[in-house]
Each structure stands twice: as structure tokens, then as C-alpha cells.
Amino acid sequence: MPLADYTAMKAKMASPTQWLEVAKSIAINANTQGACGMGSSLWKGTGYPATGATPTSAAVCDRTTAGAIPIVNASSGENRAWLSRGGAYTQNAVSGVPMFHVQLIDRLIHSGGLDATVATTQTVTTPALTRSTTGAGVVLALQIYTAIGATATTITASYTNQAGTAAQTTQPVVWGSAIGGQVSANRVIPLSFAAGDTGCRACASVVQAATTGTAGNYGVLMYKPLSPILPMFSTPNGGVGDPLTVLGGYLPLVDADACLDIMVYSGQSNVSMLISLVGSMLED
Amino acid sequence: MTAFADLHEYVNRLSGGNSGGPQPLFWHKEGRVAGVAAATPSAGNLLSLWEYEGAPSHGAVPPTSATLCDNTTQGGWKQTDPSGGRQLWSGFVAGMSNVAGTLWLCDRLGHISGLSGIVNTAQTVGITPTRFTSGAGVMAGIEIYSAIGATATTATASYTNQAGTSGQTTQGVAIGNTNFKEAQRFFPLSYAAGDTGMQSVASVTLGASTLTAGNFGVVMYKPLVQLSIGAASITDVKSFVGGSFLEYLTDACLFWLFRPTAGTVPQFDFSTIAVER
């Protein structure tokens, strides 16, 4: 249900229906500097909410999946998320005041168990989407659960696009390069769609051009970005912001049963971080 | 139609009321073109992200005849046009890169490729946009798709200005030679004295051969908003609430230009919200 006006928006922000809380410790960019701007998922971080399991076969994620930020479905209307405050605390000595960014995502489908030494097609076969079912705006990415090798190669995936056309092939992206920390656990690497595509409904398989040298463990992640990538400073009082002054009033809709996760983008290399976020859900 | 009457109306339409049809749009771009690393940028020189791969997908090298661009053109942000006589307005635009620099979100009005870096006579362009038809603030640039030669020269274009005066000639811009010949480089053309816009571009002429044909073209575009990436991995967000809302014209083909401060192949994440009114 739409918000009636700004007065109604303020009232709901003052009286949220539920809180979103995240306090997780995670290692990011374990490799040399150059990984700035590449995202890492908090899924496997330790703290609150509980550490997400490393997936095996491809599976739908929802709000009951261990690791999801706990939410309750809206009782009658729709939920909107507001990340109101956050901070990042580095456990390494860093100079200056590093900038970090966070993004709220809906983790739609994930898989694991892929081997980064295999240079032949590895089957993924994702189940049908239960949210964002058209695939429009759904990002197809790879998530690393155990570090892969540092021998650079490329990787592609076979997927069904937003129009339902199967056997599309992503453009090759760099895979296994030590440059940019792409081999690290927790790294999420978006794949580039084939010409003309704007989304993904399913992923059938991935194939590497060559081995990275280390099997590691990685999988496919299909997710829907919900918030823009929001800046935070590495101070205890870092803020995410007032949606009106920062984000044009945008409070992202959260689908029923969404599996909320946080992507972190580090402005600093080789850090272990504690990410703390507080937000709320506004039901309209 | 005009932009929102007040903040109350904006919030209502932003949340889907009154046929606001809000479109949150996201765009990840890799520093890769045609399946390989993009040409290495050079600090201070503008590059076009048109061919940069990502989600949504990259743009193709334009056709060799003048072609108008719209919201369905491969390589644009592909937002849905407004309906019911409404217009499309942006509440904010955000961008992040792992390389510091300046970003411009632009409406790509029309383009052409297939021009040769070894021809020093007038090469036909023939672009007449159907958006921003007054020409006010409309610019043209040279975009390189395959590297041209290492011999430095200049390029000018013949155009019709914002007052409808044809046969105007842009000031010469440097082209060819290192940092001015590589793929994805973009060179805005400078107006003739007194001009403030372009209604069409008729042709482009190189002062001399660059010694490699390569493939370059002309893009007519309207800059919409500028973002400053102050340092690697810093986001810039421009919120239009409280000021003047940015309109995405019906059929707008939204694309990005970037002027990096370092010669590192960049990658990007962008977001915006578009609302109908």
C-alpha cells in the first residue's frame, strides 16, 4: 500500500514495526590492495544474525534460512526497509578514516560446492525463483566460501534471462586473480550479462577457462539489490542516513519471505571488520 | 506535466501511489569489453562506459549509419517509459567506482560508427536527435571503438547550432597518438564561438590521417548529472529532493561517461529511482 504522504512516512519512520539488526565480524580483502570496490557478503560472518550455512546444491533462500536477517512478513500491507545507522570497526590498524559501503540485498537463490580447479562445465541447475520471478534486475553472481587459487583465468555461466530465453552465456569475467582480492572467501563477483539482457531467472551451469590452482569452494548467488550502495565511515557513529536527504526518499520494498543479507564494499585492503547496522521495517 | 507539487505528492508516488510506478534501477559495470579487459584508461582523459560489460548488459558498437537511441537500445539503462501522459523523474542518482574520478550520467540521443582514422576529408554523420530538439545544452563527442593511429591530429564537426544555424564548425579537438587513440576514449567537441548547443551533426573531419583506420564514431548526448568519486571506493549520491528533480525524458537512453584520475581499468556500481508524474 502506498504511503499517503510525507507526514505518513515520518510517522512510520518514528514507529517502525520491527527492527533490523546486524552485528557481524568478517574478514574482507585478505589479499593485497586493489580489491577496493568489490563486494563481500556478510553471510558467513560471525555474530548476529547467525552465520549462514555454506550451501551445497542450489536452493531457494527465504527469511527462515539460517543467516538471513530476521524479519516478519507484513501483516497486511508491504514492508519497506530503512537502514538508519551503522558503523564499521576495523580490527587491523588502518590509517585515516576508511570508507566502507553497505548494500541491502534479497538473497534469492544460492549454491555451493563448485571446484575452482575444474575447467569443464559444472552443473548448477537453480530452482525456480520464488521472488522477483520475472528475473528482471536479478543479479547473477559467484560467491566464494573457501578461498580459490590465484592463477588467473576467466569464468562464464549459462543462464536463462529475464525474457525466459535459456542458454544465454555471460561475458567472461576475471576469476582466480590475486589482484583485487578476488580469490578470498566472502567475495561476491557479479557476472556480466549477454548482449541485451537485464536480468536472470535461472542458472544452469558455470565453466572456467582453466584451473585457478586451488579447489576452494564457491557457488552461484542470485540476488536482488534492494538499497543503493550506502557509504559509512569506520567510526562508532557512522551513519547511513536520512532517506530523504541522501536517497531521494527511497525506502526499498522488501518482498514477503525475503532473505535479507548485507553486501560490504571495503575502501581498505586486508582488514577484518565488525559491521554493525541498525535499521527498521515500516509496514504500509 | 510538471514535477511534483510538493514533498507529500512525491512520497506518495515514490511508494507507488497515484500511478507513480517507482522503478529502482541498479547497474554493475565491469572493466571489460568484448570479453577481455577494457582499454587501459589514462588519467584525465574521458572514457565512455557504453561498451563496458555488466548487468544490465553492455552496448554494441553503433551501426555505420546514423541511428537514434532510446530506452530500449542495448547498452542503456533500459528504464520503462512512463505512460498515461506522465513524465519520469529521478529522486536520486548514485555511483561508485574503484577508481577516483568524475562521472556523468547522460542521455545518448544518437550515434554512428564506422568512421575512419585515415580519412582526412569530411565523413558523413547525419544525426538529428528527437529529444532535446531545441539543441540547447546538447553536445557531441567522438567515441573510439577500435584504436586509431598514433599520428596526432585534430577533429572538427559540422553542425547546426541551437538557433538552427547550419554549417557551424566545432573547434578542433586533439585526436590520435597515445591516450587519444585507444578504444573507449571519448572526446567532447567544442562549440563554435557563441554557440550553446547542437540540433544536429552533419559530418566530422580529421585534420590529417592518424595512419590507422580503426573505428570511431560520433555520439550526440545531453549531460544530465555529475557525480564525483573523490577516492577509490567512495560513493557519490545526488538527491534531488528539496531541489529540482531530474527528468528522464521518455525514451531516454541513459549511459555514463567517466574521467578517471588514474590509469587503472575501473568497475562501477550505479543506482537510481525513477518515479512517474
- For the stretch B100-138, pLDDT in tens is 999 999 999 999 999 999 999 999 999 999 999 999 999
Q: Is A77 on the interface with B (CB under 8 A)?
A: no
CA distance B159 to B218: 12
- CA torsion B158-B160-B166-B171 (nearest 10°) is -40
| Residue A96 vs residue B145, higher pLDDT | B145
Does the distance separating the beta carbons of A195 and B58 come in below 8 Å? yes
CA distance A53 to B218: 51
Q: Compute the average pLDDT of residues B256-266.
A: 95
* pLDDT for the residue numbered A226: 94
Cell of A191: 557476472
Which of B22, B24, B55 is facing A192, going by the closest CB pair? B55
Q: Which residues of B touch A38 (CB under 8 A)?
A: 98, 267
Q: Which residues of A touch B9 (CB under 8 A)?
A: 5
Q: CA of A207: how far to CAs of A38, A125, A128, A172, A203, in Å?
A: 21, 13, 21, 10, 12
Does the distance separating the beta carbons of A38 and B98 come in below 8 Å? yes
Which of B13, B20, B28 is facing A190, going by the closest CB pair? B28
Q: Is B194 helix (H, G, I), strand (E, B) or coil?
A: coil
Give the residue on B whose Cα is nearest the Cα of A5: B8
What would you measure as the largest C-alpha separation in chain B, in angstroms? 60
Q: Which residues of A touch B254 (CB under 8 A)?
A: none
Q: CA of B246: how far to CAs of A142, B27, B40, B105, in Å?
A: 35, 18, 32, 11
Which of A172, A195, A266 is facing B60, going by the closest CB pair? A195
The CA distance from B16 to the nearest CA of chain A, in Å, is 5
Give the residue on B whose Cα is nearest the Cα of A264: B233
Q: Which of A72-81, A119-128, B160-169 has the lowest mean pLDDT?
A: A72-81
CA distance A49 to B235: 27
How many contacts does A have with B, using Cβ atoms within 8 A?
164
Which residues, numbered 88 to 107 in chain A, qualify as contacts with chain B under a Cβ-Cβ cut-off of 8 Å?
A: 99, 101
Residues in chain A: 284
* pLDDT for the residue numbered A283: 82
For A136, which DSSP code? B
Note the ipTM here. 0.93
Q: Which of A114-123, A227-236, B33-42, B162-171 has the lowest mean pLDDT?
A: A227-236
Greatest mean pLDDT range, A72-86, A124-138, B220-234: A124-138
Cell of B183: 578504444
Q: What is the pTM of this model?
A: 0.94
Q: CB under 8 Å to B193, separation ≥6 — which residues?
A: none
Does the distance separating the beta carbons of A140 and B235 come in below 8 Å? no
Q: Is A206 on the interface with B (CB under 8 A)?
A: no
* Count helices and strands in chain A by DSSP H and E runs: 2, 18
Does the distance separating the beta carbons of A140 and B239 come in below 8 Å? no
